[in-house]
Chains A and B, each alone.
Chain A
């Protein structure tokens, strides 16, 4: 089976570019140029150098001894939380900002949910001295105040998305509208493996550094360049795409994607797209999404703003439909419990998003001889208010 995009930008049945004519020129310009630019030596040299010297890569592949003892298996944490700005998001923003510069764009726009992508975008814009506008749902602005302050301190303008559910989906709509209104000088720096082709493929390529490093780190630690299982959380799915990327064609590796069940998949407060969604079009891509019988996109719910999205990237829709990926879910409560557990056992406070991946340990069969990699996509600083508030409930 093939897990790379075809010429039209499809992974199996999913992907493509379903965009208004107003975006055709921009998206086509990107499609025609992205591979040539990012595969050039000049780009790769600058990209790899910034990842090393500025982001702090490679991130450790940490053997979590106490967590492994508890589950009687071998658990490695890919420490994306140790990246500059606190999450995997910066791998992608470094890549796209270098691309935007080479395409002579002067103004950068982006959407953000939890604020991690917004911070990572504002950071690279400060680094490259480019104007930066971040769209963020009004609801998310309230629940992620520290990240809003960080973006402003970094010089970005944060614009509230006040339409629809006022969360990530609506911030994405507003960013796309901005791009329609400012097509010449503006670059839309998408934060996940979503949107029209070539974004899903491009973002996956930039995030693939995660599994690229895992390969050499695993050889050193286990004598084999692949684990038995890779576990990652999926909202749009960029950290999972990066963690799975170099193992997509290796059938010996089980790929486990963990979605946010919210209050539970049987309730209407969930973000578990593959469980409650169906095929359709969202943000320019054919994929799985949460919608009603009229094709109206419904409002997701997750305690984690980064997973609060009613779709998944087309690669993940393809992994789900083809059976290559195992999709499971973790509720708000299960994620919180997993976060407190990791903090106590390993002294690492994970982001709420990553806590969903950790919660999977209670839901899957684990063997003593297996090597498991959990992609710890971000750190928990931004979620402290939630963690403190929930502490008394556990």
Chain B
């Protein structure tokens, strides 16, 4: 059983936190992941910064631009993950855009990922049919997980198809939105979560987009196995003077609801 499957088997209310590799400083990635793991985060999603991230909102776009300026490359990200794996055993998911993987060489990318201890991938602009045709065999051979997104517009039939091609978990996009653009959960979203649950899918589900605090996290956990927090954490890092403290306060605020005293984040 791989790390992702084991996490879903052993843990409840899974908290998956997104961070952008190479942000705020090039070499912060390792420490941030170590601290997230120490503070009880169940898995991490490491963003591979891309110049044109279509599915991301301003906060993550901005962090990606800074990371690229900082000099981040896929080679550095792989080194950082290798370093992280010396002390951290929670699942690591790489999130990025298809062009980066094509330029690296897709088979080489998947093999290198496996070698350094990556468990799965989220590649928003990799379509289901291209994955099936060109990459599924390799990814499965390496026992890695490919995680696909579903949205409120995805039909039941297509959700079932996506479920059949996915492994690890399904990324349930909570609303019509790019990342970081909504701050509460509405009834229509809850109806959509219920519709998904009624489909009795094979994969567990994590809800992402618009999950920013204890309230939204707890709501998401009622309707899925857990949730993904991205932009809200990047915002916390933006203002961070001390990574250890920022991570601790942020995770505390999501898990116990104690809001951080130092944060001026109003999102």
Partner-B contacts on A (CB < 8 A) = 8, 16-22, 24-26, 163-164, 169, 173, 176-177, 180-184, 279-284, 291, 293-298
Most chain A CB within a 10 A radius of its CB, from B54, B65, B149, B153? B54
Asked if B125 contacts A284 (CB within 8 A), the reply is yes
Most chain B CB within a 10 A radius of its CB, from A169, A281, A294? A294
The interface residues of chain B lying within 8 Å CB-to-CB of A25 are 151, 153-155
Bound Cα distance A194, B51 (Å): 18
Asked if A184 contacts B61 (CB within 8 A), the reply is no
The interface residues of chain B lying within 8 Å CB-to-CB of A20 are 54-55, 124-125, 149
- With A163-B65, A180-B178 in contact, do A18 and B103 touch (Cβ < 8 Å)? no
Bound Cα distance A8, B132 (Å): 14
The interface residues of chain B lying within 8 Å CB-to-CB of A169 are 52
Bound Cα distance A24, B103 (Å): 24
Does any Cβ of A come within 8 Å of B240's Cβ? no
- Smallest CB-CB separation from A299: which chain B residue? B51
- Smallest CB-CB separation from B153: which chain A residue? A25
Bound Cα distance A273, B148 (Å): 32
Kindly list the 7 A-B residue pairs having the minimum CB-CB distance in the complex, ordered from nearest: A295-B103, A25-B153, A20-B124, A21-B149, A295-B100, A296-B51, A281-B99
Does any Cβ of A come within 8 Å of B57's Cβ? yes
The interface residues of chain B lying within 8 Å CB-to-CB of A176 are 54
- Which residue of A24, A181, A182, A184 contacts B154 across the interface (Cβ within 8 Å)? A24
Partner-A contacts on B (CB < 8 A) = 50-52, 54-55, 57-58, 61-62, 65, 68, 73-74, 97-104, 124-127, 129-130, 148-151, 153-155, 158, 162, 173, 176-178, 181
- Which residue of B50, B102, B148 contacts A296 across the interface (Cβ within 8 Å)? B50
Bound Cα distance A293, B103 (Å): 7
- Which residue of B125, B151, B176 contacts A281 across the interface (Cβ within 8 Å)? B125
Asked if A295 contacts B57 (CB within 8 A), the reply is no
Bound Cα distance A282, B177 (Å): 21
Asked if A296 contacts B177 (CB within 8 A), the reply is no
Asked if A291 contacts B125 (CB within 8 A), the reply is no
Rounded to whole Å, the gap between the CB of B192 and the closest CB of chain A is 13
Bound Cα distance A19, B98 (Å): 10
Rounded to whole Å, the gap between the CB of B16 and the closest CB of chain A is 18
Rounded to whole Å, the gap between the CB of B102 and the closest CB of chain A is 6
Rounded to whole Å, the gap between the CB of B120 and the closest CB of chain A is 16
Asked if A182 contacts B153 (CB within 8 A), the reply is no
Bound Cα distance A176, B56 (Å): 11
- Smallest CB-CB separation from A169: which chain B residue? B52
Rounded to whole Å, the gap between the CB of B170 and the closest CB of chain A is 10
Rounded to whole Å, the gap between the CB of A261 and the closest CB of chain B is 22
Bound Cα distance A180, B101 (Å): 23
The interface residues of chain A lying within 8 Å CB-to-CB of B54 are 19-20, 173, 176-177, 180, 283-284
Bound Cα distance A19, B104 (Å): 20
The interface residues of chain B lying within 8 Å CB-to-CB of A297 are 51-52, 99
- With A22-B173, A177-B178, A184-B176 in contact, do A294 and B100 touch (Cβ < 8 Å)? yes
Bound Cα distance A164, B68 (Å): 11
Bound Cα distance A169, B55 (Å): 15
Asked if A21 contacts B151 (CB within 8 A), the reply is yes
The interface residues of chain A lying within 8 Å CB-to-CB of B176 are 22, 180-184
Bound Cα distance A184, B98 (Å): 26
Given contacts A19-B127, A295-B99, 11 further A-B contacts (CB under 8 A): A21-B149, A22-B173, A24-B151, A164-B51, A182-B176, A184-B153, A281-B99, A282-B99, A284-B125, A294-B73, A296-B68
Most chain B CB within a 10 A radius of its CB, from A163, A173, A177, A280? A177
Most chain A CB within a 10 A radius of its CB, from B68, B129, B150, B177? B177
The interface residues of chain A lying within 8 Å CB-to-CB of B100 are 294-296
Asked if B126 contacts A164 (CB within 8 A), the reply is no
Bound Cα distance A183, B177 (Å): 9
Rounded to whole Å, the gap between the CB of A347 and the closest CB of chain B is 42
Asked if B149 contacts A18 (CB within 8 A), the reply is no
Asked if B154 contacts A21 (CB within 8 A), the reply is yes
Bound Cα distance A384, B39 (Å): 61
Asked if A294 contacts B125 (CB within 8 A), the reply is no
Bound Cα distance A22, B127 (Å): 11
- Smallest CB-CB separation from B173: which chain A residue? A22
23 residue pairs of the A-B complex, CB under 8 angstroms, read A16-B127, A18-B98, A19-B54, A20-B54, A21-B151, A22-B176, A22-B178, A25-B153, A163-B58, A163-B61, A180-B177, A280-B99, A281-B97, A281-B98, A281-B102, A282-B99, A284-B125, A293-B103, A294-B103, A295-B100, A295-B103, A295-B104, A297-B99
Bound Cα distance A281, B126 (Å): 10
Bound Cα distance A293, B178 (Å): 27
Asked if A18 contacts B181 (CB within 8 A), the reply is no
- With A164-B65, A280-B99, A295-B104 in contact, do A18 and B178 touch (Cβ < 8 Å)? no
- Smallest CB-CB separation from B62: which chain A residue? A163
The interface residues of chain A lying within 8 Å CB-to-CB of B104 are 295
The interface residues of chain A lying within 8 Å CB-to-CB of B130 are 16, 18
- With A281-B98, A295-B103 in contact, do A18 and B55 touch (Cβ < 8 Å)? no
Bound Cα distance A173, B98 (Å): 15
- Smallest CB-CB separation from B101: which chain A residue? A295
- Smallest CB-CB separation from B151: which chain A residue? A22
The interface residues of chain B lying within 8 Å CB-to-CB of A296 are 50-51, 68, 100
Bound Cα distance A11, B51 (Å): 26
- Smallest CB-CB separation from A21: which chain B residue? B149
- Which residue of A17, A164, A181, A298 contacts B127 across the interface (Cβ within 8 Å)? A17
Asked if B150 contacts A181 (CB within 8 A), the reply is no
The interface residues of chain B lying within 8 Å CB-to-CB of A173 are 52, 54
- With A18-B98, A22-B151 in contact, do A177 and B127 touch (Cβ < 8 Å)? no
The interface residues of chain A lying within 8 Å CB-to-CB of B151 are 21-22, 24-25
Bound Cα distance A176, B55 (Å): 9
Asked if B178 contacts A291 (CB within 8 A), the reply is no
- With A17-B127, A164-B51 in contact, do A177 and B57 touch (Cβ < 8 Å)? yes
- Smallest CB-CB separation from A28: which chain B residue? B158
